[in-house]
Amino acid sequence: MTDAHPPLRSYGRLKTRAIKPRQAALMESLLPTLRPPAGPFDPRMLKPDAAEVWLEIGFGGGEHMAAQAQRRPDILLLGAEPFQNGVASALRHIDEQALTNVCVHDGDARELMAQMPAASVDRAFILFPDPWPKARHNKRRLVQAETVAELARLLKPGARLRFASDWANYVDWSLGRFLKNPAFRWTAAEAGDWRTAPGDHITTRYEEKRLGDCAPVFLDFVRVD
């Protein structure tokens, strides 16, 4: 019998260089303590006193995730990243800042999302995901109609979602897909709302490299009732 649900495939490189000894040690010692449970789980079980549950999809090197968790120790921040060098970097940030409100899924974010119940997330971030700029690779982009639908399932009414990219075509692509889903409302009222980094945004070294073809664009959405 053919498996109706084949394993998810994460495109791109999962590892590029040798992980530094200290970070490799954290992969062995710290990461197992930060992973969410295998199988279905309610994130509230991980931090019952959390004011909110946040989700960062593709946290890169973990700078933004760690800084937000440090800024808001009252929330639980779930992060997902399949790139092993990024996971190792994030663990260093978590360890150095002694963060106790972060969970790390070292794999595809869609796996993590599928394990959580509906209306269990208060805020989500998709920041500077791989743009896959060639048209033949667009199907590899994280933001697809199916992903948007899954985010609509996960986010509570009134929850916020931020998408950011410095690739113009990916911005247009993502805006179109979010606006096609009636569960999301774009909060922008004028151009400055997407051209200027929001006040609570944390700029990372990756963002500062300006590897895209436009200035960073920030799209904020609200999950409507």
DSSP 60-75: TTSHHHHHHHHH-TTS
- Alpha carbon 137 to its chain centroid, in Å, reads 20
One of 106, 122, 130, 166 is an active-site residue; which one? Answer: 130
- DSSP classification of residue 134: S
Give the Cα separation of 69 and 63 in Å (integer): 10
Distance CA 31, CA 105 (A): 9
Strand ordering across the sheet containing 184-186: 102-105, 76-80, 53-57, 121-127, 155-165, 217-223, 184-186
Position 165, amino acid: S
Q: State the first-to-last Cα distance of the chain, in angstroms, to the nearest integer.
A: 40
Active site residue 213: no
Structure tokens at 67: 């800084």
115: Cβ contacts below 8 Å, ≥ 6 apart: 36, 37, 39, 40, 41
Tokens of 164: 């950011």
Q: Which residues are catalytic?
A: 130
